[in-house]
C-alpha cells in the first residue's frame, strides 16, 4: 500500500547509508559540494541508529546496498559499470553485487526446483552443485542432466524475493510522489513513470518463464552474429521460479587479468560488445537490457557469451529510426539534423528555438568527439546533458529509459576493457549500415510494400464494404453524406491500386 507509512522505509534508507559510512563515500564519489555534505550530515546523523548494520566486512556502499535489499542492489550494479562516474575504487567494490552476493542454502534451491518440475531433483539431475553465482534476484547452480549427461546452469529465484521487491518499489513510489509535490520542476523528469517502468522490468524478472522465452527469442535473432553466443534453452526443465540453460564456460568480462592471461584482445572485445548491442537494438529492436560484466563471458575461442535474460528491451521501428538518426547526426557532426530529429519526434517542445538547441548539442558533442574514453569525464558530460534537457524542457521518455540505461552500462563495460576506445568511431559502421537499409529510398519501398500487404488483406471484403456504403448512401436525404460516400469509394479505389502496386513491387523486389 502506497502511503505515509513508507516514510519509515525511506528514513531507514538514509539512516543505513549514514550508519554504514556509505553516505560519505557516495558524496565523495560524486564530488558533492560542501553545502550538500553538511545538509546530509545534519539530516542523517540523528537517525543513524535506525539504520541497518549490514555486513561490517564489506566496503561501506556495498554494505549499505546489500542491507537495504534487491532494488537497491540493482542500482549498485549499474554504478559498478561506471568507474568514470563513481571512481575506480568504488566501482570495483560494487562489482560483487553482479554475481557474488551471499547465497541461500542449496537445499532450499532444490525444493524450489522440485516444486516447479513436480518431481524430485534426483530424477532430473545426476548432480546438482552448490551455488556458483548469486545476485540480487536469483542464484545459479551447475547441474548434470540424467538423460544425456549434459551440464546445464539452473537459475533459482531467492525465497521471498517477490515480497521484498514490492516493499522497495512501494517506498520508491512514495518518494516519487514527494519529489513531484515538493519540486514542481522535477515533474518533467516524470519520477512516477520512471518507477512504474522499473516496476514493470522487475516483475518481468520475477517470472522465469518469461526469461526462458526471451532467451529463446534472443538466440534466434542472434544465431548468425559472428563471435556471439546464447546458451541453449532447456524448455522441459524451466518454470516460474526455476529455469535452465546450457552451461557456458568462459571468463567473466570483469576478470581482466584472466582475459589477458588467456591471450584475448581486449580492444577487439570492447568493440564487439558495443557493436553487438547497437546491432541488436537497431536491427532487431530486441536487446539485452542488463549487459554488465557479470552477465557476459568470453569463451575459449574468443566468442562473447551472454547470460541472464531477465531484463530485455524492445524498441519499435519508428523509435529505432529516430535513435539511429540521432546517433548518425552526432557521428557526422550534423547537429542541426540531430536537433530536427528531436523536434520531429516530439522530444523537445515545439515552442523552443531549434537553432539554439542545435548549438547546445554542439556544445555537448564537439568537446568529446575526437577523444578516447580515458579523456572524457562522464560525470561532467552527464551534468551538461541534464542542464541541456532542463533548459529546453525535455521530459523523460519512459519508452527510452531501458535503452539509455543499457547504453550507459554497455559503454562502461567497453571502457573497462579498453579505456582508450573512441565510442563514436566504434559505433559508426553499425549505425551507417542501419541508416542505409532503413532510411532512404530502399526504406520507402519497404514501407510501401508493408502498407500494400496490409491493405491487400482487405481486398476480398472491398465489394461488400462498397455495397454497404452505397446502401447507406441511398437511405439518406439527397445531398447529405454524398461527400463521405464518394470519398470512401475513392479510398477503396486507392486501396485497389495499392494492391496492384504491391503485386508489382513484390515481383520486382
* pLDDT given at position 377: 59
What is the rounded CA–CA span in Å between residue 500 and residue 307?
47
List, in order, residues 6 or more apart from 227 with CB less than 8 Å away: 272, 302, 303, 304
Domain boundaries along the sequence of the chain: 6-99, 102-135+137-247, 248-439, 442-508
Q: CA-CA distance, 45 to 411, in Å (whole number)?
A: 37
Q: For every residue of 155-172, which 3-state class applies, written as one string?
A: EEECCCHHHHHHHHHHHH
Asked whether 110 and 116 are in contact (CB, 8 A), the reply is no
Q: Which helix (H) or strand (E) holds 241?
A: none
Q: How much is the pLDDT for 326?
A: 84
Residue 453: pLDDT band with limits 50, 70, 90: low
Per-residue model confidence (pLDDT) at position 253: 92
Please identify which residue in the block is written with the cell numbers 561506471: 82
**Residue % of the chain over a pLDDT of 70:** 76
Task: Answer with the residue of higher pLDDT: 180 or 413.
Answer: 413
The average pLDDT across 374-381 equals: 60
Q: What pLDDT is attached to residue 223? A: 94
Which of 239-248, 384-393, 470-479 comes out lowest in average pLDDT? Answer: 470-479
Q: What is the reported pLDDT for 505?
A: 40
The angle at the Cα of 266, spanning 260 to 271, to the nearest 5 degrees, equals: 165
User: Which of 42-46, 256-260, 500-504 is predicted least confidently?
Assistant: 500-504
- Residue 84: predicted pLDDT: 61
What pLDDT, on the 0 to 100 scale, is given for residue 497?
Answer: 44
For residue 488, name the pLDDT band (cuts at 50, 70, 90).
very low
Nearest Cα neighbor of 308 from 200, 450, 414, 210 is: 210
* pLDDT of the residue at 462: 65
Read off the pLDDT of each residue in 18-47 and give the average, rounded to a whole number: 74
Q: What is the pLDDT of residue 32?
A: 67
Residue 456 has pLDDT above 70, yes or no: no
What pLDDT, in 10s, does the model give residues 346-372?
888 888 999 999 998 888 878 777 666
Does residue 205 carry a pLDDT above 90?
Answer: no
444-449 long-range Cβ contacts below 8 angstroms, 24+ apart: 445/505, 445/509, 448/501, 448/502, 448/505, 449/502, 449/505, 449/506, 449/509
Query: Distance between CA atoms of 245 and 214, rounded to whole angstroms?
Result: 12
Rounded Cα–Cα distance for residues 239 and 152 (Å):
15
Q: What band does 232 get if pLDDT is binned at 50, 70 and 90?
A: very high
What percent of the chain clears pLDDT 90, i.e. is strictly above it? 29
* Residues 225, 80: Cα–Cα separation, whole Å: 28
Report the pLDDT value the prediction gives residue 502, as an integer from 0 to 100. Answer: 43
| pLDDT, mean of residues 180-184 | 73
In this structure, of 134-138, 337-341, 466-470, the range with the lowest mean pLDDT score is: 466-470
Instruction: Write out the DSSP string of 121-148.
Output: HHHHEEEEEEEEEE-SSEEEEEEEETTT
Annotated catalytic residues are: 290
Distance separating alpha carbons of residues 507 and 93, to the nearest angstrom? 60
pLDDT category of residue 499 using cuts at 50, 70 and 90: very low
Q: What is the pLDDT of residue 220?
A: 96
| End-to-end CA, the chain | 57
* 109, 142 Cβ separation under 8 angstroms: no
Residue 219 has a pLDDT of 96
In this predicted structure, the answer to whether residue 124 has a pLDDT above a threshold of 60 is: yes
Take residue 155 and report the three cell numbers written for it.
537459475
Least confident of 27-31, 338-342, 383-387, 475-479: 475-479
Number of Cβ within 10 Å of residue 266's Cβ equals 18
pLDDT of residue 500: 43
Amino acid at each position: 500500500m502506497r502511503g505515509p507509512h513508507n516514510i519509515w522505509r525511506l528514513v531507514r534508507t538514509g539512516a543505513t547509508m549514514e550508519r554504514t559510512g556509505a553516505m560519505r563515500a557516495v558524496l565523495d564519489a560524486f564530488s558533492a559540494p560542501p553545502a550538500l555534505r553538511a545538509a546530509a550530515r545534519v539530516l542523517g546523523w540523528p537517525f543513524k541508529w535506525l539504520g541497518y548494520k549490514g555486513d561490517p566486512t564489506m566496503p561501506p556502499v556495498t554494505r549499505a546496498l546489500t542491507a537495504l535489499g534487491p532494488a537497491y542492489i540493482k542500482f549498485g550494479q549499474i554504478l559498478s559499470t561506471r568507474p568514470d562516474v563513481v571512481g575506480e575504487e568504488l566501482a570495483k567494490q560494487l562489482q560483487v553485487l553482479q554475481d557474488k552476493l551471499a547465497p541461500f542454502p542449496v537445499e532450499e534451491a532444490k525444493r524450489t526446483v522440485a516444486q516447479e518440475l513436480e518431481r524430485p531433483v534426483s530424477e532430473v539431475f545426476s548432480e546438482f552443485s552448490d551455488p556458483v553465482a548469486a545476485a540480487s534476484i536469483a542464484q545459479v547452480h551447475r547441474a548434470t542432466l540424467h538423460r544425456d549427461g549434459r551440464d546445464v546452469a539452473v537459475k533459482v529465484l531467492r525465497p521471498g524475493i517477490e515480497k521484498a521487491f514490492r516493499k522497495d518499489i512501494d517506498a520508491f513510489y512514495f518518494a516519487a510522489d514527494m519529489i513531484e509535490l515538493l519540486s514542481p520542476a522535477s515533474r518533467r523528469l516524470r519520477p512516477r513513470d520512471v518507477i512504474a517502468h522499473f516496476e514493470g522490468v522487475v516483475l518481468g524478472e520475477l517470472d522465469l518463464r518469461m526469461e526462458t522465452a526471451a532467451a529463446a527469442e534472443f538466440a534466434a535473432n542472434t544465431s548468425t552474429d559472428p563471435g556471439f553466443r546464447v546458451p541453449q534453452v532447456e524448455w522441459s526443465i524451466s518454470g516460474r521460479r526455476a529455469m535452465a540453460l546450457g552451461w557456458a564456460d568462459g571468463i567473466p568480462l570483469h576478470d581482466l587479468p584472466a582475459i589477458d592471461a588467456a591471450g584475448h584482445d581486449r580492444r577487439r572485445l570492447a568493440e564487439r560488445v558495443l557493436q553487438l548491442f547497437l546491432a541488436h537494438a537497431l536491427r532487431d529492436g530486441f536487446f539485452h537490457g542488463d549487459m554488465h560484466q557479470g552477465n557476459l563471458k568470453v569463451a575459449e575461442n574468443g566468442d562473447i557469451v551472454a547470460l541472464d535474460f531477465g531484463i530485455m528491451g524492445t524498441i519499435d521501428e519508428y523509435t529505432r529510426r529516430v535513435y539511429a538518426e540521432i546517433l548518425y547526426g552526432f557521428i557526422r557532426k550534423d547537429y542541426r539534423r540531430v536537433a530536427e530529429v528531436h523536434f520531429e519526434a516530439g522530444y523537445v517542445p515545439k515552442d523552443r528555438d531549434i537553432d539554439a538547441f542545435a548549438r547546445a548539442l554542439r556544445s555537448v558533442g564537439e568537446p568529446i568527439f575526437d577523444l578516447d574514453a580515458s579523456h572524457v569525464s562522464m560525470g561532467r558530460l552527464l551534468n551538461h546533458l541534464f542542464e541541456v534537457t532542463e533548459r529546453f524542457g525535455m521530459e523523460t521518455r519512459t519508452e527510452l529509459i531501458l535503452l539509455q540505461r543499457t547504453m550507459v552500462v554497455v559503454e562502461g563495460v567497453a571502457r573497462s576493457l579498453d579505456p582508450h576506445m573512441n565510442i563514436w568511431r566504434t559505433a559508426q559502421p553499425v549505425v551507417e549500415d542501419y541508416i542505409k537499409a532503413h532510411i532512404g529510398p530502399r526504406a520507402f519501398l519497404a514501407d510501401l510494400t508493408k502498407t500494400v500487404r496490409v491493405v491487400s488483406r482487405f481486398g476480398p471484403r472491398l465489394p461488400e464494404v462498397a455495397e454497404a456504403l452505397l446502401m447507406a448512401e441511398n437511405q439518406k436525404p439527397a445531398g447529405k453524406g454524398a461527400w463521405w460516400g464518394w470519398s470512401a469509394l475513392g479510398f477503396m479505389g486507392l486501396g485497389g491500386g495499392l494492391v496492384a502496386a504491391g503485386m508489382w513491387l513484390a515481383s520486382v523486389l
